[in-house]
Amino acid sequence: MPTAQAQQAGVTRIDLQRHDLSAPGREAVQVRVDLAPGVAFGQHTHPGEEIIYVLSGSLEYAVAGKPPVTLQAGDVLFIPAGTVHAARNVGSTPASELATYIVEKGKPLLTLVK
């Protein structure tokens, strides 16, 4: 059953599923992330790849080494393992993404960058 986690004001992460993969030491994790209007989720990394599908709203992604990109519902983004990135809801309505991670088991799913 999905579980919701509030990480910061205006951001909700709902864990949808987590499964071991056939690749040793790797797992797939799917999470729904909801951001209130104007809310940003600061720079962070993941111990594996992240595949993003925007469900609703307008989200701006800042990925290290690339210019910021704004995505709308139905758009996708791939973030390589260990890449520093951040997201911000640039719209006037709530925004949501489906994040699928292919990560190393036993490591924190998300590490904030200071």
pLDDT tens by residue, 45-89: 999 999 999 999 999 999 999 999 999 999 999 999 999 999 999
And the tokens for 49?
């790849």
Confidence at residue 6, expressed as pLDDT on a 0 to 100 scale? 45
The Cα 2–Cα 74 span in angstroms is 22
The range of the structural domain enclosing residue 90 comes to 3-112
Supply the CATH number for residue 70's domain.
Answer: 2.60.120.10
Instruction: Count up the domains in the chain and report the number.
Output: 1
And the tokens for 85?
């990135």
pTM assigned to the model: 0.90
